[in-house]
Structure 1
Amino acid sequence: MQILKVVNRNLVKHKHLCHQKLKNVTSMLHYSTSKDAELAIAPGYQPKQVEESYWAREKLSKDEPKKTCSRGNYRMLLPPPNVTGNLHLGHALNATIQDVIARQHRQLGYNVEWIPGTDHAGIATQVVVERTLAATKGVTRQEIGRAAFLDEVWKWKAEKGAGIIQDLEQLGCTLKWEREYFTMDKQQSHAVNVAFERLFEEGLIERRNSLVNWSCTLRSAISDIEVENMDIKEPTELSVPGYEHKVLFGRIFDFAYRIVDQDQPDGTQEEIVVSTTRPETILGDVAVAVHPADPRYTKYRNRDEVRLQHPFRSDTIPLVFDIAVDKEFGTGAVKITPAHDKFDFEVATRHKLDLRQVFSESGNIVADYPEFQGKSRFEARDLIIERLEEMELLREVRAHQMQLPICSRSKDIIEYMLVPQWFLNTKSMAKAALSELHSGRLQIMPNNHETEWERWLSDTRDWCISRQLWWGHQVPAYQAFDSKGNSCWVAALDENSAHEKAATILGSQELKLTRDPDVLDTWFSSSLLPFSVAGWPKEEYKEKYPLDIMQTGHDILFFWVARMMMMGLKLTGEAPFRRVLLNGIVCDAQGRKMSKSLGNIVAPQQVVQGANLESLKAALQKSCTAGIIKPSELKTSTDGMIKMFPKGIQECGTDALRFTLLSHNIKNHFINFDVDACYTNKLFLNKIWQAMRFTLGSAKNLGITLHEFETMEGVTLSMWDRWIIGRLAETLSICSESYTNYNFHMATAALKHFFYQNLCDVYLETTKESINRKNNSAYVNVATLTACLSWGLQAMAPFTPFVASELLQHVPLNLELKLSQFQDAKLEAEVADIVNICTTVRQVKSRNQISKRHGPKLCLFAQNAEAEEILRRHLSQIAVLTRCQGVDLELLNEDSKFLKKLNFFSTAGALCSFGISLNDDIALPEAKREEMVKENKKKLKKLLNEMQKYRLRIDNEAFQLMADNATKVHFQNRIKELQAEIDSLMTLAA
């Protein structure tokens, strides 16, 4: 860590204790401030006023000349929030992490290029705008047409996009706003079309029929990330879009397939019973499959081809043997419907079976099955069950646990459908992305995600990149037909280029061109962002590419991060980043995922500004009216919100929100956010505010200003002055290391401990008497406080920029102090012992409700002469920190003149035991003394148990052989300390 120096000019001027000048040392922390005017400070920390003041200063500073950055550029990209609403806490966490990284690198001298933007979010935005149109105008997108609907979406984007930008600014994010992008702006659209064209020309993109996740409500394919699997443990009725009544799931049906020309001895037809959870797909069955080693069906292996009569078609289907069949599922025989099931599709491919479509794009039975034509799939399910029963083919219906795939956007039940789609072959790109990790060129943090990266990229499949939507990048592909009926597909940036390409392929100029109406998957455009926002495909993109770090949530490691890596390597020849930092998912205080049904979704602004219960309800109602949540979800969301926040949410301010978010280990899989903890951190910030007020008031009392301080070199510091500066040095060291390792929670914990416990609760309290008396040490105390506030707040500034900026106006910022000379382990241990003694005394006082009016007097019984010497050095601080009216000290012995006068007694570590006596006129109830004796017995038992554990370890032969000397010495010292405290307690109790 760099050596930091503090200078206190006041002591040169007033006390002649310092050298005239010290060599300046460049600090890694830099701020600008005015030393000319003494600024007023409010009585307490008010977040709103502090933030308004910050933005006013920021506005003025924009006109100031920019300082030259000596370390070069540092590039980051903000994961673009969807334009479907305001920021949620997940966005706030992500943005705060990156802002802390950005601010810290500016302090180190980098020119930080942190690029903001928003994502068009194809499906999510289209769904929300459709709901809004239905709620506000009573129309569908089909009724108003594609052009008018897209106009409505662009209006939505203009309104919501502006709200997102405002939220990011209010969060304090220091983004490069002049480079802001939208994933469907002109530059991004051009990059998307060029990327598609190049990949198509190389043969990596092709159009084919394949099985995809299909939403009948959206009438579109959707990605795996938009599919949620619901566990159904028993028969359960669920609401399904488009159905008036709930649909029952969680059942399995056994029905018979009769074998053709195979009668049994009794004259009945031989049959095979199959099990299915989806009887509505029977119409598309093309085979029945069994495991070749299943003893129930091995008799059929020696026969000629076994054919089964289809119950709803005139044709027959084969019995096939396949080792992929699960013998334990149902009867061991499964129906094969390849057009609507992934497993069945693979079986059908292996056995060269036909594919039969059952449902239309809207989820209704197609014309091939006249008996059920036009019926919705779940309506057809009930009819098919009835008909099977009539045909005496239904054998059993029973409860069955299952996973139900649900579209996260529409809440529809996913149908697997064979639909013409565009697919990108990613095998070669995935191999290249894997090599980045294997070679060590790519670092993923935390590294446990490296296994997932390898697993996913090792088994990557073709990526379905088309969507049947209106909102998004229209596929830049054209189908061309010549006069003879020949056709081909070409990819091109415009129709003229498409015509030229198609003419070359088909050998004709007389062509009819039709552009594919589908749009590209949102993840396709997002995968280009590291280089498309830099200007790709223009050559100048290389000046702003690659990124230095990619930071985002672990839940999109594959859907976005891996795809950015693949596309970057493929289209630019260079990895888009070398370092990936992944954060966890934000949950509520109970560890539950935030959802509408629980009513536990909290917006960052509700935490920052505070919100009463009525405003929380109103926000939910507004979201419902806007189409963001459904009317059916409104009541459950409201009920959950009332349960979570019966008294609303108290105002916390932006700094407290940021500090709380980064008080968690961001690398954990889940991050439990507690609004109450956030409010506690607001109080913590007020504690620092009050420390600054005390320091400013103390300086005024001494007739000086804090900006006069320049050097403390040569100043005689007390042990406590040296101790607090040592604690500052340790804190700054932890902060520096935590920035490097992205363990921000360690920095926030260190800062909170330093400011709260070390500076405010301990050191500041020990300075009050000296400052009030204006004695010689008062100037040193104020200088020390100033140094701690200056450097401590600068270390906190990346986390809490608003309050840090406000308070740093009051202190000099280029103080210099050789902190390394104050890191004294022996002194730190000594003061820690004293503080622990004071804490124990206060606990006894608090437990027994001993207040100032009782006139408590403290007597310390030193364990030995060495302990007595140590305690004597700190008697004045002990008196202050224990809030006792006097402190006596003597060696512990049974003939002590104080022992008989004690009302309360206990031990406080290895140095001493202590007793508290009250005024003579205070009558102490006998029950109090009995309670004290009981507490001491509990403490003695605990000490003896701990002693036994240490002795067992140190007497263990394996421990003696394997433990290093430092560990052995630690154990021996701890045994001595425990024995001393046990002896003290037994002496007092005698």
Structure 2
Amino acid sequence: MLQNLKPNYLNSCLYNSSCVLARSTVLSTIHSYSKRGLDVGYKPALVESNNRNVGKNQRQPSNEKRFSMLLPPPNITGELHLGHALTCTIQDALIRWNEKHDLQCLWLPGMDHAGIATQVVVEKNLQKAKKLSRYDLGKDKFLREVWNWKDEKATGIKRNLNELGAHMNWEHEYFTMDEHQSRAVKEAFIRLFEANLIYRDKSLVNWSCALESAISDIEVDNLEINGPTAIEVPGYREKVIFGEMVDVAYKIRGTQEEIIVSTTRPETLLGDVAVAVNPMDGRYSHLKGRSIMLWHPVRQEEIPLIFDESVDPEFGTGAVKITPAHDRYDYDMALKYQLPIVNVITSKGNIEQNFGLFSELPRYNARAKMLNFLANESLLRGTRPHSMVLPICSRSKDIVEFLLKPQWFVRCQNMAQKAKHAVETGELCIIPKVFENEWFRWLDNCHDWCISRQLWWGHQIPAYEVQYGQTSSWIAARSLEEAQQKAQAMHDSAECKVAQDTDVLDTWFSSSLLPFSSLGWPEDTTKLRRYYPLDLMETGHDILFFWVARMVMLGQQLTGRLPFNKVLLHGIICDEFGRKMSKSLGNVIKPEHVIKGASLQQLNKEAESLHQQGILSSAELKKSLSGQRKMFSDGIPECGTDALRFTLCSSNVKNHFINFNVQECHTNKLFFNKIWQATRYTLGCIDRFSVVPSGHLSKDELTEMDRWILSRLSSTIETTQKAMEGFNFHLVTAAWKVFFHNNFCDVYLESTKAHMSSDNASIATNHCLVLQHCLVIGLHNLKIFTPFLAAELLSHLPVVPDLRINYREWTDPALETAIEQLLEICQSIRQAKNECCPPVARKHNPVLHLLPKSESLSNLFQLHIKNIEQLTQCNGVILHTAEDSFANTTFTCQSSATHECNFGIVTDSQVLKAVASRNKKLVKLISELDKLLSIVGSDGYRKSAKASVQQKHLEKIDQLKLQIKEMQNM
């Protein structure tokens, strides 16, 4: 399409005396714009302020069909980020699209209490602001602080969502710890417990010592390090070195032999209960068949050598230490060979008691002491660089430990197979389909789900320990009173003690109930019957297992139905270089930065505020400020909400990663200004010709350009329909950008100027109707992405009586092909004119000569002579029917537009002579200036020339520079 043909039609009309639309006409048209109240340019902040209520469709849908969806609840940890904006924009576009098709829509909003994340951020804030820990406050006061935090942040989040133009059903808003959600969580836990799907057991879990809590896999970041690397660890003044492999010798009892094991965690040597080798490893074959015992140098006791085929003989020396209390593989080995389990590290990250000189030391201080101990005992065989993956808690930045703790678990295997079967049979559709493999991989290897957390903030687990004599057992109940009744029934009304577990539930547990709990479950509500299951679950692919799969598993188990039939997964927002956005990198862009704009100073101030709150360390702050200077040296320009939404959906959201470029956002703002100016032009024309809005257009009365733009409109609507059905939002935004920018503004609107005069009143009136129709219909389609812009412009445009016109009847592929050919030729001509003709000659609109080589093209040219003149900005078009007349013409430049068309451009010879004369004089002046500069720049001149002579030369240099500048600007 005609990408580079972008005349500024208002300027060309005002300042180009040869333009068909006279200057006086345009001035009167602009005057009529102001009467209608449409500003001279697009100002996002003003438009959004005027149209803040662009929310719910006020018209009551007549369609009985419904569409329901749930907003993945933002965490109450702070403000919205671009990932939230992407989710919100996609879902809002889907809601608006379905409302446009007369469906009854329900879009459920809510917020998540985000147990660990919220507790961490409130603790950091308390520590920074008041120098207090949660233990200083106590549980009750600390929880009041969290609820205050929630109230403050929830207000801001709701405001941010509204600013994004999201029109959710706020009357159905929920919070994952409100009264109803609490009741639903208890009911779900009890039902699963009574179905023997929840149990309590002692097992290895991811443990954050800084939080003193178990954490989920999604809260573990794996840091790859190559060789010795100093890492900051919470609670340690100095950085801790990781990435070293330590070789330690275990003496074989009764011999002079030793077995060397390799470890990256020498402090865990305290908990070694065995050493294992592969039975096929020839280095240890002489020890097979014997009861070999090794001596533990710290605990002063024997541990066995065992042979197991799972040991990798290629790792280190082929001998591995078995520490079952702190390693998953080792734990399985201990169960297999009935080995004892020795706990080494406490929940706070210190060494357990009864380890002599190592007792109660912080774990990494114990590491250094262990290396000294081994060296003194002549058991240290060396230390070498080693590449490894270090698990880090994403919330606390602590190094994750594997600790053996009593926890609550959900049995997942049977539920996982049902969830897998739903996708295999097509009952549940995952989009894009590529994520089905990820779905199957997760569910085939689905371990039991640890749902307990050792926090203060969250749903306290509705499980009660019943102590009866010397025995204890666990029951699930909705309250202490119900638990006591159940306990007494179990023990024939005997005296027993009942106490609720102090742990809270994993946040994912409560959020996994949302598709039905947000609709009133466990009660049988009208809303639940009407809108469950949801029609679509739209979210990021990074939580496909942690949230989506668990919603499916619990939904099938607790309601007997899938919670939704389709899952749409979008990618992760990255910066323009493909890097994940991170506060520490300084590349985080918040929605409000893009909407309102932000200076570099403002961005720096926000980073410093995060440091003051304890969220960023000093090192991270320094890195963040450096990153901001590199990426946003001029700040972030104001783009507005619509430009943000449009840009987010201009990428294929189904890709794994979505690179966000602020400059693209600003470009889209300028694109919207182009539509704005087109609307002003249209309103002026409608006023001038007193056009009455009409829902009817007659093909017989329209020009080819009228019919062409209506065909392009029809094609764009059809593209939109197909793309929206496939969730290909980028194809929709691209289609409307081509239509409005290239087809409507740059071509059709320009072509209408040739007839906007009283001499062509009939044609001009039809042009006005077509302009109006294209804008109204186009904006009604575009508003799913740009609700504020559409609302503002549509409020000024006449109402089209019937928007539901069958636009397919206007589709004309042959006409589109013909006009496309014409536009390509015009583009080639315009490009050649810009390259070959001096600017001064281009301003005098040269004459265009065309030589078509086919009858069809000749007919096309004859029909569109005025359009060609307008689109190429030439001062006339001469159509040649014979090659001789074309060949005998002297051209300023000559070329071929296509194999079917030659063209030439003739400019005023007097203008060209003047240009040549000017250029000749300009060369002479520049040469004179260079010569004079060379003279005054020499050392001899500065030493020997008189001061008066030097002054005259400087004055002459200034005069030459001024004269050259004036001539260059001619």
| TM-score, normalised with respect to structure 1 | 0.86
Please say which of residues 363-372 and 814-823 is displaced more in the overlay. Answer: 814-823
What CA distance in whole angstroms lies between the structure 2 residues aligned with 1:386 and 1:849? Answer: 83
1:362 match: 348
Change (3 A) 1:296 1:892: farther
Of 270, 293, 301, the match for 1:307: 293
**Contact 2:893–2:906 (Cα < 8 Å) also in 1:** yes
| Equivalent of 2:38 in 37, 41, 45 | 41
Structure 2 SS opposite 1:683: helix
Instruction: State which of 518, 533, 550 in structure 2 corresponds to 1:533.
Output: 518
When residues 440 and 855 of structure 1 are mapped into structure 2, their CA distance, relative to the original with a 3 A threshold, is closer
Q: Which 10-residue stretch deviates more, 856-865 or 657-666?
A: 856-865
Letter in 2 for 1:676: Q
| Of 290-299 and 785-794, the range deviating more from structure 2 | 290-299
In 2: Cα distance, 1:897 partner to 1:820 partner? 42
Query: Could you tell me how far apart the structure 1 residues matched to 2:211 and 2:339 are?
Result: 30
Which of 494, 499, 504 is the equivalent residue of 1:509? 494
Contact 2:836–2:892 under 8 Å retained in 1 = no
Specify the code of the residue in structure 1 equivalent to 2:721.
Answer: S
Q: Tell me which residue corresponds to 2:479.
A: 494
Partner of 1:950: none
Q: Which amino acid aligns with 2:156?
A: G
Q: Which residue of 2 aligns with 1:9?
A: none
Please give the per-residue CA displacement for 1:608-632, whole angstroms capped at 9, x wherever unaligned: 0111122222222333334443444
Contact kept, 8 Å, 2:275 with 2:319, in 1: the verdict is: yes
Letter paired with 1:552? T
Amino acid at match of 2:637: Q
Alpha-carbon separation, structure 1, partners of 2:280 and 2:865:
86
1:325, distance to aligned residue in structure 2 (A)? 1.4
Alignment partner, residue 808 of structure 2: 820
Pairwise CA distance, 1:638: 1.9
Measured at CA, do residues 408 and 789 of structure 1 come closer, stay the same or move farther in structure 2, by a change above 3 Å? same
Q: How far is 1:317 from its partner? A: 0.9
Match runs of 1:489-638 below 5 Å: 489-540=474-525, 541-638=528-625
Task: Please say if 1:233 is aligned against 2:241.
Answer: no
Is 1:212 paired with 2:205?
A: yes
Partners in 1 of 2:148 and 2:420 — Cα distance? 41
SS at match of 1:699: helix
The partner residue of 2:50 within 48, 53, 78 is 53
- Is 1:131 the counterpart of 2:131 in the alignment? no
Q: CA deviation at 1:39?
A: 4.2
Contact 2:578 2:657 in 1 (8 A): yes
CA distance in 2, matches of 1:86, 1:142: 27
Tell me the secondary structure at the aligned position of residue 323 of structure 1: coil
Compared CA separation, residues 225 and 322, structure 1 to 2 (3 A): same
Q: Following the alignment from structure 1 to structure 2, what is the Cα–Cα distance between the partners of residues 633 and 818?
A: 58
Q: Is the 8 A contact 2:251 2:295 kept in 1?
A: yes
Task: Specify the alignment match of 1:981 in structure 2.
Answer: none
Pairing partner for 2:687 from 700, 705, 708: 700
Report the CA distance between 1:460 and its aligned residue: 0.4
Secondary structure of 1:412's counterpart equals: coil
CA distance in 1, matches of 2:220, 2:391: 6
In 2, Cα distance between the equivalents of 1:855 and 1:201?
Answer: 86
Unaligned runs of 5+ in 2: 1-33, 920-970
Distance 2:904 2:314 in 1: 74
Contact 1:251/1:397, CA 8 A, preserved across alignment? yes
Residues 467/57 of structure 1: CA separation in 2 closer, same or farther (3 Å cut): closer
Deviations 1:170-202 (A, max 9, x none): 101110000100000000011111111111112
Q: Give, in angstroms, the shift of residue 773 of structure 1.
A: 4.6
Instruction: Show the counterpart of 1:4.
Output: none
The Cα of 1:480 is off from its aligned counterpart by 1.5
- Match of 2:442? 456
Indicate the RMSD between aligned Cα atoms, in angstroms.
1.9
Secondary structure at 1:762's aligned position in 2?
helix
430-439 vs 237-246, which deviates more?
Answer: 430-439
Is 1:287 aligned to 2:271, yes or no? Answer: no
Q: Which digits, 9 at most, give the CA deviation of each residue in 1:506-556, with x for residues without a partner?
A: 445311122111100000000001111111111223343211100000000
Divergent runs of 4+, >6 A: none
Partner of 2:235: 242
Q: Distance in 1 between matches of 2:239 and 2:611?
A: 22
Cα separation, 2, equivalents of 1:430 and 1:629:
39
| 1:38 shift after superposition | 8.4
The aligned runs of 1:101-112 (5 Å cut-off) are 101-112=94-105
Q: Residues 171 and 56 from structure 1, CA distance in 2 versus in 1: closer, same or farther, beyond 3 angstroms?
A: closer
**More displaced, 871-880 or 523-532?**
871-880
Q: Which residue of 2 aligns with 1:937?
A: none
Corresponding residue to 2:696 among 711, 736, 739: 711
Distance 1:173 1:712 in 2: 35
Task: Give the aligned partner of residue 747 of structure 2.
Answer: 762
Aligned partner of 2:662 in structure 1 is 675
Alignment of 1:23-172 (within 5 A): 39-55=36-52, 67-172=60-165
Q: Within 2, Cα distance between the matches of 1:310 and 1:142?
A: 39
Q: How many residues are treated as equivalent by the alignment?
A: 877
Contact 1:607 1:649 in 2 (8 A): yes
Partner of 2:11: none
CA distance in 2, matches of 1:217, 1:135: 16
Of 299, 320, 336, 1:350 maps to 336
| 1:412 alignment counterpart | 398
Please state if 1:395 is matched with 2:381.
yes
Match of 2:825 among 837, 843, 859: 837
Percent of residue pairs bearing the same amino acid type: 48
Query: Partner letter of residue 229 of structure 2?
Result: T
The corresponding residue for 2:628 is 641
State which drifts further: 898-907 or 174-183.
898-907
Q: Is the 8 A contact 2:99 2:105 kept in 1?
A: yes
User: Would the aligned equivalents of 1:611 and 1:648 in 2 still touch at CA under 8 Å?
Assistant: yes
- Shift of residue 291 of structure 1? 1.5
2:720 matched to which residue of 1? 735
1:891, 1:286 → 2: CA distance? 99
| One-letter identity of the residue aligned with 2:826 | C
Q: Could you say which residue in structure 1 is the equivalent of 2:874?
A: 884
Shift of 1:815: 4.3
Q: Secondary structure at the match of 1:159?
A: helix
Farther off after superposition, 307-316 or 726-735: 307-316
Q: Contact conserved, 1:283 with 1:358, CA < 8 A, in 2? A: yes
Question: What's the CA shift for 1:137?
Answer: 0.8
Q: What is the CA distance between 1:505 and its match in structure 2?
A: 3.1
**SS of alignment partner, residue 258 of structure 1:** strand
Deviation at 1:373, TM superposition (A): 0.6
Contact 1:546–1:575 (CA under 8 A) maintained in structure 2:
yes
8 Å Cα contact 2:540-2:572 kept in structure 1: yes
Q: Which whole-Å deviations, capped at 9, do the CAs of 1:469-514 have from their partners, x for residues lacking one?
A: 00000111111212x2221111111112111222333445311122
Q: Which residue of 2 aligns with 1:786?
A: 772
Counterpart for residue 187 of structure 1: 180
SS in structure 2 opposite 1:255?
strand
Q: Secondary structure at the match of 2:417?
A: helix
1:90 Cα deviation after fit: 0.1
Amino acid at match of 1:671: I
Per-residue deviation, residues 396-437 of structure 1 (Å, max 9, x unmatched): 211111000000000001001001111111111111111111
Query: What residue is the counterpart of 2:908 in the other structure?
Result: 919
Is the 1:864–1:891 Cα contact (8 Å) retained in structure 2? no
Alignment of 1:427-438 (within 5 A): 427-438=413-424
Residue number in structure 2 paired with 1:988: none
**C-alpha distance in structure 1 between counterparts of 2:848 and 2:780, whole Å:** 39
The one-letter code sitting in structure 2 at the alignment partner of 1:528 is L
* Alpha-carbon distance in structure 2 between the residues aligned to 1:849 and 1:378: 75
Counterpart-to-counterpart distance in 2, 1:854 and 1:543: 69
Q: Any conservation in 1 of the 2:466–2:472 contact (CA below 8 Å)?
A: yes
The residue number in structure 2 matching 1:685 is: 672
Residue pair 2:699, 2:707 contacting (<8 A) in 1 also: no
